[in-house]
Structures are given as C-alpha cells and as structure tokens.
Amino acid sequence: MMRHSSTHAAPVHAQAGKRAAPRAGSFVGAVAKSRETTLFIVLLLLIAGTALARPQFLNLQNLRDVLLNVSIISLLTAGMTVVILMRHIDLSVGSTVGISAYAVGSLYVAFPHMPVLVALAAGLAIGLVAGGINALLVAVGRVPSLVATLSTLYIFRGADYAWVHGGQINATSLPDAFSRLATGAAFGIPTLALIAAAVLIALGVYLKHFRGGREHYAIGSNPEAARLAGVNVERRVMAGFLLSGAIAGFAGALWLARFGTVDASTAKGIELQVVAAAVVGSVAITGGVGTILGATLGALVLGVISIALVVLHVSPFWEQAIEGALIVAAIAADTLLARSVAKRTMRKRDHG
C-alpha cells in the first residue's frame, strides 16, 4: 500500500506544479494573447501621453468630438469586419455612404416632414441595394471581392456625381428632429454614439452566439472545410456583403445628420480609414480572426490619434503616415502570432 501511494504522489505533485506555473504568469499571458486588451492599453497610453503634453486635451468637447467621429467609422468598420472574416473586402462602403447621405437629404427636400425612422430606413434600404450588387458579383459571379468592390466604388460614386450634378444638400433642409441624432445626448453621451453602440453590440452578439455568425469565422478559417461541414458558403458570403452594404447605407443617413451638408464627394476615401481601423483592430486580413470589440477599439485608436494631432498642432499629413505604420505593425504582429501558433502546434504533435 505504501509503495502504491508513493508512486502516485510524485505525478500529482508534478501536475500541481505545472498548473501553478501558468497561474503565476496568467495576467501577462492574457495581456499578450488578448488583442483587445493590448489595444485598450495602447488607447489609454495615447490619451495619457496627449493629456500630459496638452492638459486641455481632456475636456468634454474633445471627448464628444471623438465619440461623434468614431461612431460612423466604427459602424463601417463593423460591417467591413464581417466581410474580412470571410477573406473578402468591401471597398465600396465610402461610395455607398455618399449616395445614401445625398438620397436621404433629397427625400427631406421633397418631404420635409418625413419621420426620422423612415429616413434611417431609406438609407438602410439604399445600402442593401448596393450590398446586393456586391453580393451577386462576388458570390454568384465569382468575381474577386477586391475587383468587384473596387468597380462598384467607382460605379456608385459616378452615379452619385451624375445625380448630384454639382448640387448640395444643406443643414437648413433637414428637420430639427433628424439633426438631433447628432446634436442630442442622453446621460451626457451623444445620441449618435448610443445608436452606434447598439448596432455594434447586436452585431457582436450575432457573430459570437449565433450559428450564422460563427459560419463567417468558419469560412474565413477554411472555406473548403466549411463547405464540407455543411455551410452554404455562397449564401453566407452574400449575407455578409448585404450586411456591410446595409450598415454603410445606415451610416450614410447618420453622416447627413452629423454634418448636415452633403454633396457628391461625401465620404470620399473613407473606405481606406475603415480598412485601417479593422486591421489595426486585429481583424486578420487573411480571414477567420477578429471581433467587433477589437475593430471598434481600432477605430477609437485612430480617432484619438486624429484629435491628438490637432491638439498637439502636428501636421495632418502625419495622420496618414501613422495609419500606414499601424497597419504594417498590425499585419506584422498577426504574421508573427500565426508563426508562433504554428510552431507550438508542431511541437505538440512531435511531443505526442
């Protein structure tokens, strides 16, 4: 009996030691592995550093400006995230925002008493049409998403220029109830930010807890394996582009409320900021990895950098350089992480 107990005591003790080791470094390990945690720390360091250099940075107006500016970008980034998760990209979001904003403004010119909900629904419907065109090109026509959405970027923008024909919608054409989407607040938080937060939370829950959301990840991780597992890849890709388009159309209506004045050049080039925010937010451009929280934090980091440069009186040209550097850093980090995971997997297999 004594010999039997002693032979088992050593392994138990060794296992206890092995279990205790990860606990000691669990916090550091969690910070290193959690991309959202890392982004949050970077965000805090940015705010703290700017506040030390310019104490006036930490005022309510700057906070409000950051929330208002990031609200629309974060919405577009969330829609882009769904598409990127499946190894695709949607470069037409900026043009969709532009044509949607002008369309909703034109509706208000024709129908001044149109309810706010109808205006938002109109923007969403226009985005759905744009997303549907992309979906058909990519999922049915088998056109690479980069080519398809680059084409529709120019098509939608060209249609916008032809329609606007040098015209402009001004804030005076909008009812106060619609403008209050950007100027109003609840509990001190801008209404626009609350609307964006509600959409982001709903989309985050969908991706994490619903089968359709998990299928986006499965397709991005391995499209053929997802197909063999019974996932209707084409239908899910179509759903992703429809969702991205709908969010872009909805964001276009909010853009009109935020800025009041729109023309044919509205939101031109914003798709590059959206892609940057997604990549900085650790949404892997190779698909299958990323979260709505990470994408939102990426948009917040870029938004804070933009405001910080103004406060620090730094040339705005540096903003694009910093965005480019962050994209390179994010992609490099993804590559290093992927290699590290691959090496660990190989070691486990060899050990087994």
Segment 342-347 long-range contacts (CB within 8 Å, at least 24 positions apart)? none
pLDDT band at 42 (very low <50, low <70, confident <90, very high): confident
Q: How far apart are CA 342 and CA 334, in angstroms?
A: 12
Q: What is the pLDDT of residues 49-92, one digit of tens each?
A: 989 988 888 888 888 888 998 999 999 999 999 999 999 999 99
Backbone angles phi, psi at 267, to 5 degrees: 60, 20
Please spell the DSSP secondary structure of 263-288, one letter per residue.
-TTTTTTHHHHHHHHHHHTT--TTSS
Q: What is the pLDDT of residues 131-167, one digit of tens each?
A: 999 999 999 999 999 999 999 999 999 999 999 988 8
pLDDT number for residue 352:
60
For the cut 80, the answer to whether the pLDDT of residue 9 exceeds it is no
Domain ranges within the chain, ordered by starting residue:
59-267
Residue predicted with more confidence, 125 or 20: 125
pLDDT number for residue 338:
66
How crowded is residue 280: how many other Cβ atoms within 10 Å of its Cβ?
26
pLDDT number for residue 115:
96
| Phi-psi sector, 168: left (phi>0), alpha (psi -120 to 50), beta | beta
pLDDT number for residue 145:
96
pLDDT number for residue 65:
85
For the cut 90, the answer to whether the pLDDT of residue 111 exceeds it is yes
pLDDT number for residue 226:
94
For the cut 70, the answer to whether the pLDDT of residue 29 exceeds it is no
In the numeric block, the tokens 């969702």 are attached to 243
Residues 57 and 50: beta-carbon distance below 8 Å:
yes
Average pLDDT score over residue span 190-216: 95
Q: What is the pLDDT of residues 223-237, one digit of tens each?
A: 999 999 999 999 999
Structure tokens at 96: 């969709």
DSSP summary character for residue 88: -
Residue predicted with more confidence, 47 or 327: 47
In the numeric block, the tokens 């890392």 are attached to 38
pLDDT number for residue 332:
78
> How many residues are present in the chain?
352
Local structure of 350: helix, strand or coil: helix
Local structure of 185: helix, strand or coil: strand
Q: How far apart are CA 102 and CA 46, in angstroms?
A: 35
Average per-residue pLDDT in the chain? 86
pLDDT number for residue 106:
95
Average pLDDT score over residue span 253-266: 94
Q: What percent of the chain has pLDDT over 70?
A: 88
For the cut 80, the answer to whether the pLDDT of residue 93 exceeds it is yes
Q: How far apart are CA 340 and CA 155, in angstroms?
A: 42
Q: What is the pLDDT of residues 290-343, one digit of tens each?
A: 999 999 999 999 988 888 888 888 887 787 788 788 778 777 777 777 677 667
